[in-house]
Amino acid sequence: IPRPPNAFMVFRSSWLKSNDGMLAIERDNRQLSRITGEVWRAMSDADKAPYQKHAQDLKEEHARQYPNYRFSPKPRTGEILRRQ
């Protein structure tokens, strides 16, 4: 069961759809998250409010669909692979 997205993830998805030219420039998701993170941090609380509201709605819907869901991350096993 996937976790519900938080406000930043809702914003990131929306921002990338509205700035589709960004995908032509940058294909690395790590960089895209850094760029959208800078935009997110520069936004006022009033600008973030709609995304926070939408994320809360998604979280409530997720709780209705999966009432017994509990996030329990599994510890990583084996060697951690690092990108070069």
The yes-or-no verdict on residue 34 having pLDDT over 70 is yes
Q: Which of 48-52, 57-61, 77-81 comes out lowest in average pLDDT? A: 77-81
pLDDT at 6: 96
Contacts of 37 (CB under 8 A, 6+ apart): 8
CA-based R_g, the chain, Å? 16
- In the predicted structure, residue 83 carries a pLDDT above the cut 70: no
**Proportion of the chain above pLDDT 90, given as a percent:** 54
User: What pLDDT score was predicted for residue 60?
Assistant: 96
> What's the pTM value of the predicted model, to 2 decimals?
0.77
What is the 3-class SS of 29-64, one letter each residue?
A: HHHHHHHHHHHHHHCCHHHHHHHHHHHHHHHHHHHH
